[in-house]
Amino acid sequence: MHDLPQQLANGLILGALYGLVAIGYTMVYGIVQLINFAHGEIFMVGGFGALTAYLALPGGTTLWLAVPLMLIAGILVSTLVAVGAERFAYRPLRSAPRLAPLITAIGLSIVLQQLVFSFYPDAKKARVFPKIPGDPFELASVTIQRSDIFLIIAAPICMLILGWFVARTRSGRAMQATSQDPDTAKLMGIDTDRVIVMAFAIGAAFAAVAAVAYGLRTGQVDFRMGFILGLKAFTAAVLGGIGNIYGAMLGGLALGLAEGLATAYIQHIPGMHLFGGGAWKDVWAFVLLIVVLLVRPQGLLGERVADRA
Amino acid sequence: MTALLEVENLRVSYGKIEAVKGISFTVNQGEVTTLIGTNGAGKTTTLRTLSGLLRPTAGKISFDGQPLNTVPAHKIVSLGLAHSPEGRHIFPRMTIEENLLLGAFLRKDQAGITADVERAYGLFPILGERRKQAAGTLSGGEQQMLAMGRALMSQPKLLMLDEPSMGLSPLMMQKIMATIVELKASGTTILLVEQNAQAALSLSDQGYVMQTGQIVLTGTGADLLNDESVRKSYLGED
Ligand SMILES: Nc1ncnc2c1ncn2[C@@H]1O[C@H](COP(=O)(O)OP(=O)(O)OP(=O)(O)O)[C@@H](O)[C@H]1O
Ligand SMILES: [Mg+2]
User: Using a 6 Å cutoff on CB, does residue B53 contact ligand 1?
Assistant: no
Between A and B, how many residue pairs show a Cβ–Cβ distance under 8 A?
63
pLDDT of B238 above 80:
no
> Average pLDDT in the A255-283 region?
83
The pLDDT of residue B135 = 97
What share of chain B has pLDDT > 90, as a percent?
84
- Contact B191/B4 with Cβ under 8 angstroms? no
List phi, psi (to 5°) of B50. Answer: -60, -35
User: Using a 6 Å cutoff on CB, does residue B14 contact ligand 1?
Assistant: yes
pLDDT of A308 above 60:
no
Cα–Cα distance measured from residue A17 to residue A19, given in angstroms and rounded to the nearest whole number: 5
Instruction: Provide the phi-psi class of B9: left if phi over 0, else alpha when psi is between -120 and 50, else beta.
Output: left
A272 confidence band (pLDDT: 50, 70, 90): confident
- Contact B6/B50 with Cβ under 8 angstroms? no
User: Using a 6 Å cutoff on CB, does residue B40 contact ligand 1?
Assistant: yes
Q: Give the B-side interface with A, CB within 8 Å.
A: 51-53, 72-75, 77-78, 82-83, 85, 89, 91-94, 98, 101-103, 105-106, 136, 150, 154
Residue A142 domain flag: yes
A304 confidence band (pLDDT: 50, 70, 90): low
β-pair partners for B134: B95
- Contact A77/A46 with Cβ under 8 angstroms? yes
Q: How far is the CA of B211 from the centre of ligand 2 (A)?
A: 12
Instruction: Provide the phi-psi class of B40: left if phi over 0, else alpha when psi is between -120 and 50, else beta.
Output: left
CATH number, domain with residue A169: 1.10.3470
Q: How many CB atoms lie within 10 A of CB A157?
A: 10
* CA neighbor of A116 nearest in space, from A175, A69, A53, A47: A47
Give the three-state DSSP class for A60: coil
Cα–Cα distance measured from residue B180 to residue B132, given in angstroms and rounded to the nearest whole number: 26
pTM: 0.93
A305's CB contacts (< 8 A; 6+ apart) are A298
**What radius of gyration do chain A's Cα atoms show?**
19
- Contact A205/B111 with Cβ under 8 angstroms? no
Q: How far is the CA of B21 from the centre of ligand 2 (A)?
A: 16
Residue A152 domain flag: yes
Closest-CA distance, A239 to chain B, in angstroms, reads 21
Residues 17-46, chain A: which have Cβ within 8 Å of B?
none
Residue A113 domain flag: yes
Instruction: Domain count for chain A, please give it.
Output: 1
The dihedral built from the CA positions of residue B111, B113, B118 and B119, taken in this order, carries a sign that is: positive
Cα–Cα distance measured from residue A214 to residue A48, given in angstroms and rounded to the nearest whole number: 11
**Ligand 1 pocket test: which of B10, B13, B14, B214 has the largest number of ligand atoms within 8 Å of its C-beta?**
B14
Question: Can you tell me the ipTM of this complex?
Answer: 0.95
For A195, the domain range is 4-295
Q: How many CB atoms lie within 10 A of CB B64?
A: 16
Q: Which stretches of A84-205 are assigned E, i.e. beta strand?
A: 127-128, 137-139, 142-144
Cα–Cα distance measured from residue A168 to residue A162, given in angstroms and rounded to the nearest whole number: 10
* pLDDT tens readout for residues A138-174: 988 899 999 999 999 999 999 999 999 999 999 999 9
Range with the poorest average pLDDT among A88-92, A178-182, A266-270, B154-158: A266-270
Q: How far is the CA of B212 from the centre of ligand 1 (A)?
A: 10
Residue A258 domain flag: yes
Element (H, E) at A221: strand A220-221
**Ligand 1 pocket test: which of B44, B51, B211 has the largest number of ligand atoms within 8 Å of its C-beta?**
B44
A309 confidence band (pLDDT: 50, 70, 90): very low
Using DSSP bridges, classify how beta strands B214-220 and B206-211 pair: parallel, antiparallel or unpaired. antiparallel
> Would an 8 Å CB–CB cutoff place A301 in contact with chain B?
no
Q: How many CB atoms lie within 10 A of CB B72?
A: 11
CATH number for the domain formed by residue range(s) B3-234? 3.40.50.300
Nearest Cβ partner of A180 from B73, B93, B150?
Answer: B93
Residue A309 domain flag: no
| Chain B residues close to A177, C-beta within 8 Å | 91, 94, 102
Residue A187 domain flag: yes
B178's CB contacts (< 8 A; 6+ apart) are none
DSSP string, chain B: --EEEEEEEEEEEETTEEEEEEEEEEEETT-EEEEEE-TTSSHHHHHHHHTTSS--SEEEEEETTEE-TTS-HHHHGGGTEEEE-TT----TTSBHHHHHHHHTTT---HHHHHHHHHHHHHH-HHHHHTTTSBGGGS-HHHHHHHHHHHHHTT--SEEEEE-TTTT--HHHHHHHHHHHHHHHHTT-EEEEE-S-HHHHHHT-SEEEEEETTEEEEEEEHHHHHH-HHHHHHHS---
Residue A93 vs residues A185, A203, B214: alpha-carbon distances, Å: 20, 20, 33
